Chain A
């Protein structure tokens, strides 16, 4: 092969590579970008719901699953059109600061405290979630914390606050990872962990962990969808976002949420109208 052929070959390779890299369907309606939490994505709920939404409206939703902290930051920076999260105080601030249009409740599930089989710290009969955590702290039973500023992490911190405990020590492990990774870690370390019931049910087959404490009204975990304010960022896909929010709260969207099952169990519940 001569030099020219080689150069030509290389250019061809680069050209093909560039060409394939830029393929994008221009005819379809503009997709909606949404940041959301790992709990809605890891359970498979969003793959299922957004498939239906695409069928109903032709609008694709590109969702990015992160912790609630990062999800809200992307909303504040106008990187996405809409956020679906579960951290009411942070959501209120997001709206009050003018970054979000309005907090629209979508569904709820609840948090549970999972623990190793046999409940070694004996929290099953606790009077409240804060009591259960106090019991874990005093018996120095290992506890895995998300430690990632996610909705679940924020909830956990509020519960410690209620209990009047500042958790630290070798028994308190701050993982800095998503819910699934934390469950795997807690399972391995025979530790307690706060988890949304949806992720737990979706992963139960892989875990020895059991529900050690549940049922405190404090543990209700509401999810809300919030459009990023188009007054702050005019070129957002606000039209698509409004259709998405309307769809989420429509009878059809709500029914699909309530019908969603993993291993035969309902993961997300609707608010009473």
Chain B
């Protein structure tokens, strides 16, 4: 038990001392997670919208495929991407393995289904109504789609944050594709794994506290940005 209290203390110390390893890992985590969430949202938001808005043959199949993909183990996603970026694979020439870019690819694959499914669920209720209304009122198709997304922005933001939460906390993709290289691909979660494997439970837990504090700050930031508009 007491190691939990120790960890809280060492988390505070690590931050106060501007611990270099910690900030490198935090930086890598933020860069990689924000990039992958950004790219994934560019794919998943339109995809979720299209699936919610339009009926097409095979729609049910796509839906159940998406829901199945939610169960993808992170290490499996890592190995799947490895099959494409390993040396003799189609993308082998790009030498992506053990780089942050490889982690981004894996994480994008990991959360595109998640954000798509959540966006789809969020829009399902009134997407057709709002979209048709906006189009009738003379909005361009893109503007009308944007209207739909912003009508359900709470749910959409939740979808994005869920995706971000998934990548920021995952360790399988980061280990298999990143390799936990210090100062290059070591994220907070792979650092946690490393510390745990060395028996340094309290510093592992401390890293977890720091990670959560960071995500909390991001959430508060988003809430203030979104809340301002609510008040108008």
Please encode chain A, from 58 to 93, with 1 for each CB lying within 8 Å of some chain B CB and 0 for all others. 000011110000000000011110000000000000
Query: Which of chain B's residues 173-217 have a Cβ closer than 8 Å to chain A?
Result: 179-182, 184, 194, 196-200
Contacts of B23 in A (CB 8 A): none
Check if B87 sits within 8 Å of A233, measured CB to CB: yes
Size of chain B's interface in residues, with CB distance under 8 A?
34
Contacts of A183 in B (CB 8 A): 199
Residues on A facing B (Cβ under 8 Å):
1, 3, 6-7, 13-14, 17-18, 20-23, 33, 35, 38, 42, 47, 62-65, 77-80, 177-181, 183-184, 202-203, 206-207, 233, 235
Q: Which of A3, A21, A181, A207 contacts B146 (CB 8 A)?
A: A3
Check if B199 sits within 8 Å of A77, measured CB to CB: no
Contacts of A38 in B (CB 8 A): 197
7 example contacts (A-B, Cβ-Cβ < 8 A) are as follows A14-B42, A18-B38, A20-B31, A65-B194, A78-B87, A184-B199, A235-B95
A77 vs B184: C-alpha distance when bound (angstroms): 22
Nearest B residue to A177 via CB reads B197
Nearest B residue to A179 via CB reads B197
Nearest B residue to A77 via CB reads B86
Check if A64 sits within 8 Å of B87, measured CB to CB: no
Check if B182 sits within 8 Å of A47, measured CB to CB: yes
> Is B32 in the interface zone, CB < 8 Å from A?
yes
Check if B229 sits within 8 Å of A77, measured CB to CB: no
Contacts of B100 in A (CB 8 A): 21
A65 vs B195: C-alpha distance when bound (angstroms): 13
Check if A63 sits within 8 Å of B31, measured CB to CB: no
Per DSSP, are chain B's interface residues mostly helix, strand or loop, or mixed? helix
Check if A42 sits within 8 Å of B197, measured CB to CB: yes
Check if B98 sits within 8 Å of A62, measured CB to CB: yes
CB of B185 to closest CB in A, whole Å: 8
Nearest B residue to A70 via CB reads B176
A14 vs B86: C-alpha distance when bound (angstroms): 27
A190 vs B86: C-alpha distance when bound (angstroms): 42
Q: What 6 A-B pairs have minimum CB-CB distances, sorted nearest first?
A: A64-B179, A21-B35, A14-B38, A17-B34, A78-B87, A180-B197
Contacts of A235 in B (CB 8 A): 95
Residues on B facing A (Cβ under 8 Å):
31-32, 34-35, 37-39, 41-42, 86-88, 95, 97-98, 100-101, 104, 143, 146-147, 150, 179-182, 184, 194, 196-200, 229
CB of B98 to closest CB in A, whole Å: 6
A202 vs B198: C-alpha distance when bound (angstroms): 9
Q: Which of B88, B146, B180 contacts A77 (CB 8 A)?
A: B88
Check if A203 sits within 8 Å of B180, measured CB to CB: no
Most buried by A among B38, B42, B95, B147: B38
Q: Known: A20-B35, A21-B101, A79-B98. Is A42-B198 also a contact (CB below 8 A)?
A: yes
CB of B214 to closest CB in A, whole Å: 15
A35 vs B229: C-alpha distance when bound (angstroms): 51
Check if A178 sits within 8 Å of B87, measured CB to CB: no
A65 vs B97: C-alpha distance when bound (angstroms): 15
A1 vs B87: C-alpha distance when bound (angstroms): 47
Nearest B residue to A62 via CB reads B181
Contacts of A65 in B (CB 8 A): 180, 194
Contacts of A20 in B (CB 8 A): 31, 34-35
Most buried by B among A14, A35, A235: A14
Contacts of A13 in B (CB 8 A): 34, 38
Contacts of A79 in B (CB 8 A): 86-87, 97-98
A20 vs B101: C-alpha distance when bound (angstroms): 11
A14 vs B38: C-alpha distance when bound (angstroms): 5
CB of A231 to closest CB in B, whole Å: 14
CB of B21 to closest CB in A, whole Å: 10
Contacts of A7 in B (CB 8 A): 146
CB of A122 to closest CB in B, whole Å: 27
CB of B103 to closest CB in A, whole Å: 9
Nearest A residue to B99 via CB reads A24
